[in-house]
Amino acid sequence: MSRKGDANMGVKFQADMDEFLPLRDVVFNTLRKAILTGELKPGERLLEIHLANQLGVSRTPIREAIRKLELEGLVIMMPRRGAEVAQITEKSLRDVLEVRRALDALCAELACDRITEEEKQKLKTACDEFEKATATSDATIIAAADVALHDIIVAATRNQRLIQLINNLSEQMYRYRFEYIKDENQHNNLVEEHRMIYESIVRRDKEGAAEATKLHIDNQEKSIIRQLRAENLP
């Protein structure tokens, strides 16, 4: 994706204040959300003084937040430019989705064996709620419904180590999930893919569930790559 300007020159956002969180965590969560939702664009510079002025805080929590975002791979430090939002590249996309493809397929297979009747009903409801969410055309609402649906499948594995691995990767995955969901042309496909995964799990069809899940991830990769290439056209 092409470089953007400096953060806060045109972007206006406020800190998501939480009385139960330290200020440094509030600042970190606010900047992280802005990056994940695309409010802060790939390549956009994160200037401490501008961010501090906009959020009404000192530069110290801004600096701490930028360091943590760098560790998560959402921010990179560039020579002579300082911190900027990490670009979404085809390589970074494939690296993350290769891992997600394998883990999600495993989750679907294990869920076929271990899902309860109550969880089946929750999964059906989640499919319905996701379809309703697509009608809002609000990417944040749709992404939340998508996460909720996949969380049911992950929980149904009863494998704590697998659940931990998924959770550790969830934030990196969210960025790419959000990019996919922003493509409204894919919403009908997403609804159908979720139904295929749900129906396979209900039938306890492990092979079908794994294949439907892999197709779901493969289509996500193709869609985002199309977006990346379109945005990089001269």
Q: State the Cα–Cα distance between residues 228 and 92, nearest whole angstrom.
A: 12
pLDDT at 145: 97
pLDDT at residue 101, as a whole number: 96
Residues with pLDDT less than 50, the chain: 1-3, 8-9
pLDDT at position 173? 82
Q: How many other C-beta atoms can be found within 10 angstroms of the C-beta atom of residue 151?
A: 16
Residue 88 is predicted with a pLDDT of: 86
Q: Who's near 49: CB < 8 A, 6+ residues apart?
A: 59
pTM beyond cutoff 0.75: yes
> Which is nearest to 206 in space by CA: 147, 157, 151?
157
Kindly provide the b/e burial profile for residues 14-43, where b requires at least 16 CB atoms within 10 angstroms of the residue's own CB. ebeeeeeeebbebbbebbbebbbbebbbbb
pLDDT digits (tens, 9 = 90+) for 142-198: 999 999 999 999 999 999 999 999 988 887 788 888 888 988 999 999 999 999 999
CA of 91: how far to CAs of 15, 147, 201, 211, in Å?
32, 23, 31, 23
User: What is the model's pLDDT at position 3?
Assistant: 47
Written as six digits, the tokens of 143 are 């992404």
The DSSP output letter for 11 is -
pLDDT at position 13 is 62
Question: Would you state the pLDDT for residue 203?
Answer: 98
Amino acid identity for residue 206 in this structure: K
Provide the pLDDT for residue 18: 61
